[in-house]
Amino acid sequence: MSGAVLPEAPGGASTLASAGFQRVADLARREAGLTIPDTKLSMVQSRLVRRLNATGHRTFDAYLGHVESAAGSGEREHMISALTTNVSHFFREAHHFETLREEILPRAIDRARQGEKVRIWSAGCSSGQEPYSIAMCLLDTVQRLGSLDIKILATDIDRAILKKAVSGTYSEHQMAGVPATFRERLFTGSGSGPDAAWTVRAELKAPISFRQLNLIGDWPISKRFEAIFCRNVVIYFDAATQAQLWPRFHETLVPDGWLFLGHSERMQNSSEGFAPAGVTTYRRAPGQRQPGMKG
Ligand SMILES: C[S@@+](CC[C@H](N)C(=O)[O-])C[C@H]1O[C@@H](n2cnc3c(N)ncnc32)[C@H](O)[C@@H]1O
């Protein structure tokens, strides 16, 4: 198959008709829990035209036939990647990082000094600004992590964006939220003017493990978290999918553990064993540590 598909061909082969849009929306919901409203038809069309071109399919019908088939599992991942929204920035929603510094890290560091393992999860980490912001707070609170076993798990469904997160290179514009002291100590600069770029140093990357993980799939997690940052992710899920996540987050947090959501996200029903603890901040109710998972 060959030949570029023109996104603007009205009514032509490259136009995503509503039946095709419904197939995309069904796949996105099934594979990633994403809810895509009809109003996004033209956005979906322009993003997927690039996938048609990349895979050499001349029509949406042929492309969708491929991604729906058993042989299309690799392309399904690319399709989901094309449909996700990856906007992120450093120290987004600064009040969460104040809670991290003032309430969570002092207690966590004490526990780590007594030999416990401490884990924090950035669930839906996108291009890495969130886990690196957590790591900056950590390195600022404890000057040398040394032998303390404190780790950040950073996961996303989208392998392409995870590669960017692992590379840890950001433009001057993206670095806007990073205080100068952190920039000098924990990033290496290169280029100048519009080409200026900053790459995270090994010290900042060391506490973070990046992994691909679908929040609506299995979570191969064995150690409970002190805190979960799942911000600006569930906004793309419907209420039923969100409601399935809360008990799973509850199960993977230590008693008293913290859950942070994005600015326009709310837990509809706090009977899930969480209590509100600030703006888009929830705390798991204290209780016995349950068997099954460590921590
Ligand atoms: C808007 S970004 C949020 C990034 C960061 N948490 C923040 O607040 O800046 C949303 C991320 O959620 C990821 N995502 C969407 N659906 C997901 C799923 N089912 N499992 C895991 N990650 C998902 C997307 O790939 C995207 O990188």
Q: Convert the pLDDT of each residue in 116-152 to its tens digit.
A: 999 999 999 999 999 999 999 999 999 778 889 999 9
Residue 186: other Cβ atoms inside 10 A: 20
Is residue 290 predicted with pLDDT exceeding 60?
no
Query: Mutate which of 122, 157, 242 to test ligand 1's pocket (most atoms within 8 Å of Cβ)?
Result: 157
Rounded Cα distance between 203 and 2, Å, is: 46
Instruction: For residue 233, report the distance from its CA to the centre of ligand 1, in Å.
Output: 5
Residue nearest to atom 2 of ligand 1 (CA): 86
Rounded Cα distance between 280 and 264, Å, is: 8
Query: Mutate which of 29, 77, 84 to test ligand 1's pocket (most atoms within 8 Å of Cβ)?
Result: 84
Respond yes or no: is residue 47 known to be catalytic: yes
Instruction: For residue 35, report the distance from its CA to the centre of ligand 1, in Å.
Output: 13
Q: Any idea what DSSP says for residue 4?
A: P
Rounded Cα distance between 131 and 71, Å, is: 34
Instruction: For residue 87, report the distance from its CA to the centre of ligand 1, in Å.
Output: 9
> Ligand 1 in contact with 31 (CB < 6 A)?
no
Is residue 284 predicted with pLDDT exceeding 80?
yes
**Which run of H or of E encompasses 159?**
helix 159-167
Angle (nearest 5°) at CA 67 between 62 and 70: 115
Residue 253 and residue 123 in contact, taking contact as beta carbons nearer than 8 Å: no
Residue nearest to atom 13 of ligand 1 (CA): 124
Is residue 162 predicted with pLDDT exceeding 80?
yes
Nearest atom within ligand 1 for CA of residue 127: 27
Q: Give the lowest-confidence range in 31-40, 183-192, 204-213, 266-275.
A: 266-275
Catalytic residue among 47, 58, 101, 111: 47
> Ligand 1 in contact with 35 (CB < 6 A)?
no
Respond yes or no: is residue 156 known to be catalytic: yes
CA distances from 285 to 209, 256, 268, 269 (A): 27, 6, 16, 14
Rounded Cα distance between 196 and 49, Å, is: 31
Catalytic residue among 156, 224, 231, 284: 156
Over the stretch 187-205, which tens digit does the pLDDT of each residue have?
Answer: 999 999 888 999 999 999 9
> Ligand 1 in contact with 128 (CB < 6 A)?
no
Over the stretch 71-119, which tens digit does the pLDDT of each residue have?
Answer: 999 999 999 999 999 999 999 999 999 999 999 999 999 999 999 999 9
Is residue 17 predicted with pLDDT exceeding 90?
no
Q: What does residue 287 show for φ and ψ, rounded to 5 degrees?
A: 175, -175
Question: Residue 8: what pLDDT?
Answer: 44
